[in-house]
């Protein structure tokens, strides 16, 4: 049965469903007595996939978070976890280097300048092969293997070479760029061929899938037709959109719980019970548009539309990639901006912006969603952005407003949000002000429609659609009829 893991003694046996991701879905916790335990990690990927693994079982392959150590497989919350080791040099070159200083800015519309280094690429190849080896070892005959995200784009082809019997899926959580940007990459063909090892290549948006199809046709030369790529060995690779979502029932349940309700009331009280609370929750990343949104909010106060007593902005920016220069510079820039805004516009005990550079547990995030009137999600480019959907899920009274970048994947679904171009400061100010001034009837109309969308397209639906397509994929050795002509 799909999703079961058979075990003999203490050793993990072959699994029929395998998730392969850069990180394990857990973080190491060290108690006061030095005892080590594991807790579920925060973040969109884990939030999306943990319910799938909990309901179906299976094995999850990933890096445990520390360099230079080899851990044995272990169980956590019904999942078999298979740690993959990484040296300090590999972490620096594969993860901080190629994944996050080359691919991340390239795939996010060159918001920052990508760097291209051959030694980073070599480390990326080495680590991707290691993940593929681990998947080949744990997957049962004919198993489904679902590979996640941009750090592991070579794994599908490596795994196909090792285990042609497997049904292999890949899902990209971030945007996939158009040909004009992707073609800058010196290893563009190798990455495309790596992804073509999968039977199903999933993207957040249909436009990204079409970018991929177009690049395969232009750069690799395979025949394509609509969402299909026809390989010389007879395999057919399907590339299509599977917009990711959240566990809506879980977040609404948190929001309705008494502890979260009490905490939300305390947050409003601590902030002085202003008329409106604006909220931003992001990783501290240059793609998220944090600086621009705080500047827009401060200008609304400066222009006299409301005061710092009428409205306050709570910005949570969880630390991210702090060893990378671009992220340290961004952190310093935002620190200075917040200090300048609060110095000019705030009052004793009533800052215009409450800035929190730290991560919080899910219950605290739910309390912030419940306490806040206007959620501001304004990335310059984002694959989906699950924070927007989490906020909607927590607004069970059909109130509150969502100000959302049109360049976030979520904007394709949450059309009733106040959509903005994050590069247009005046346009962002206008939409933030409209949300601030909107009457209850208008807010209810918009939020009710968005909540219906999130409820109908939750994480279980996302996983069910992807895994259903993957289960239906024909085994790799079967031949397929190729199209008569090229699209």
Q: What is the pLDDT of residue 34?
A: 78
Q: What is the pLDDT of residue 6?
A: 41
pLDDT of 55 strictly over 90: no
Q: Mean pLDDT for the chain? A: 91
Q: pLDDT grade, residue 460 (50/70/90)?
A: confident
Q: In whole angstroms, what is the distance from residue 173 CA to residue 191 CA?
A: 16
pLDDT of 479 strictly over 50: no
Range 309-327 average pLDDT: 88
Q: 238 and 253, same structural domain?
A: no
Pick the closest to residue 280 from 351, 416, 372 (CA basis).
Answer: 372
Q: Are 327 and 286 in contact (CB under 8 A)?
A: yes
484, part of any domain: no
Max Cα–Cα distance, the chain, nearest Å: 73
348 CB-contact burial (10 Å; exposed 0-12 / middle 13-18 / buried 19+) = exposed
Q: Are 432 and 296 in contact (CB under 8 A)?
A: yes
259, part of any domain: yes
The parent domain of residue 57 ranges over 5-244+463-472
Judged by average pLDDT, the poorest of 53-67, 120-134, 433-447 is: 53-67
Q: What dihedral do alpha carbons 236, 241, 246, 249 form, nearest 10°?
A: -90
Q: 317 and 364, same structural domain?
A: yes
Q: What is the pLDDT of residue 36?
A: 77
442, part of any domain: yes
Report pLDDT digits (tens) over 343-376. Answer: 999 888 889 999 999 988 899 999 999 999 999 9
Highest mean pLDDT among 12-21, 271-280, 474-483: 271-280
Total domains present in the chain: 2
Q: In whole angstroms, what is the distance from residue 92 CA to residue 130 CA?
A: 16
298, part of any domain: yes
Q: 468 and 435, same structural domain?
A: no
Q: 279 and 378, same structural domain?
A: yes
Q: What are phi and psi of 279, to 5 degrees?
A: -135, 135
482, part of any domain: no
Q: What is the pLDDT of residue 325?
A: 77
pLDDT of 54 strictly over 80: no
Q: What are phi and psi of 22, to 5 degrees?
A: -60, -40
Q: What are phi and psi of 141, to 5 degrees?
A: -55, 130
More confidently predicted of 300 and 481:
300
Q: 116 and 227, same structural domain?
A: yes
Entry pTM: 0.92
Q: 84 and 189, same structural domain?
A: yes
Q: 207 and 276, same structural domain?
A: no
pLDDT of 140 strictly over 90: yes
Q: 252 and 226, same structural domain?
A: no
Report pLDDT digits (tens) over 415-427. Answer: 999 999 999 999 9
Q: 238 and 259, same structural domain?
A: no
Range 41-62 average pLDDT: 72
CATH for 380 = 3.40.50.2000
Q: What is the pLDDT of residue 48?
A: 65
Q: What is the pLDDT of residue 484?
A: 38
351, part of any domain: yes
483, part of any domain: no
Range 79-106 average pLDDT: 95
More confidently predicted of 320 and 121:
121
More confidently predicted of 32 and 147:
147
Q: 375 and 347, same structural domain?
A: yes
pLDDT of 11 strictly over 50: no
Q: What is the pLDDT of residue 43?
A: 59
Pick the closest to residue 140 from 211, 183, 80 (CA basis).
Answer: 80
Q: 232 and 378, same structural domain?
A: no
103, part of any domain: yes
pLDDT of 7 strictly over 70: no
> Cα separations (Å) of 162 from 123, 157, 197, 473?
20, 9, 11, 18
Q: What percent of the chain has pLDDT over 90?
A: 78
Q: In whole angstroms, what is the distance from residue 313 CA to residue 227 CA?
A: 43
Q: What is the pLDDT of residue 12?
A: 55
Q: Are 73 and 5 in contact (CB under 8 A)?
A: no
74 CB-contact burial (10 Å; exposed 0-12 / middle 13-18 / buried 19+) = middle
Which residue do the tokens 């078999």 mark? 80
Q: 179 and 328, same structural domain?
A: no
Q: What is the pLDDT of residue 481?
A: 37
More confidently predicted of 10 and 187:
187
């Amino acid at each position: 049965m799909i999703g079961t893991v058979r075990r003999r003694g203490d050793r993990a046996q072959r699994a029929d469903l395998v998730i392969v991701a850069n990180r394990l879905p857990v973080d190491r916790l060290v108690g006061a007595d030095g005892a080590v335990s594991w807790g579920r990690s925060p973040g969109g990927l884990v939030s999306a996939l943990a319910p799938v693994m909990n309901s179906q079982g299976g094995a999850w392959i990933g890096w445990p978070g520390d360099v230079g150590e080899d851990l044995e497989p272990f169980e956590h919350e019904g999942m078999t976890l298979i740690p993959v080791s990484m040296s300090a040099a590999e972490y620096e070159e594969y993860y901080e280097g190629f994944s996050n200083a080359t691919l991340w800015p390239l795939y996010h519309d060159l918001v920052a300048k990508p760097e291209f280094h051959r030694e980073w690429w070599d480390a990326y190849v080495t680590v991707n092969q290691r993940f593929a080896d681990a998947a080949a070892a744990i997957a049962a005959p004919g198993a489904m293997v679902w590979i996640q995200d941009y750090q592991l784009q070579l794994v599908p082809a490596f795994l196909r070479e090792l285990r042609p019997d497997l049904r292999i899926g890949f899902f990209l959580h971030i945007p996939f760029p158009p040909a004009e940007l992707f073609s800058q990459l010196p290893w563009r063909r190798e990455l495309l061929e790596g992804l073509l090892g999968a039977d199903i290549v999933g993207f957040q948006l249909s436009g990204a899938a079409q970018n991929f199809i177009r690049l395969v046709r232009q750069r690799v030369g395979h025949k394509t037709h609509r969402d299909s790529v026809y390989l010389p060995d007879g395999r057919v690779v399907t590339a299509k959109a599977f917009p990711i979502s959240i566990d809506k029932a879980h977040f609404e349940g948190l929001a309705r719980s008494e502890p979260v309700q009490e905490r939300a009331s305390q947050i409003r009280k601590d902030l002085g019970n202003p008329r409106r609370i604006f909220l931003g929750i992001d990783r501290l990343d240059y793609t998220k548009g944090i600086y621009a949104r705080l500047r827009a909010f401060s200008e609304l106060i400066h222009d006299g539309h409301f005061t710092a007593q009428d409205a306050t902005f709570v910005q949570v920016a969880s630390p991210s990639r702090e060893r990378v220069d671009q992220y340290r510079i961004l952190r310093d820039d935002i620190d200075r901006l917040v200090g300048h805004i609060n110095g000019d516009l705030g009052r004793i005990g009533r800052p215009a912006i409450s800035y929190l550079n730290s991560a919080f547990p899910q219950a605290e995030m739910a309390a912030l969603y419940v306490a806040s009137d206007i959620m501001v999600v304004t990335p310059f480019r984002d694959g989906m952005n699950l924070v927007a959907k989490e906020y909607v899920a927590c607004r069970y009274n059909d109130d509150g407003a969502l100000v959302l970048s049109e360049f976030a994947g979520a904007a394709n679904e949450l059309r009733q949000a106040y959509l903005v171009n994050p590069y247009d400061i005046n346009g962002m100010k206008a939409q933030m002000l409209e949300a601030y001034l909107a009457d209850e009837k208008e807010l209810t109309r918009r939020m009710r429609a968005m909540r219906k969308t999130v409820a109908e397209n939750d994480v279980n639906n996302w996983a069910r659609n992807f895994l259903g397509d993957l289960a239906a994929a024909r085994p790799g050795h079967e031949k397929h009829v190729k199209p008569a002509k090229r699209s």
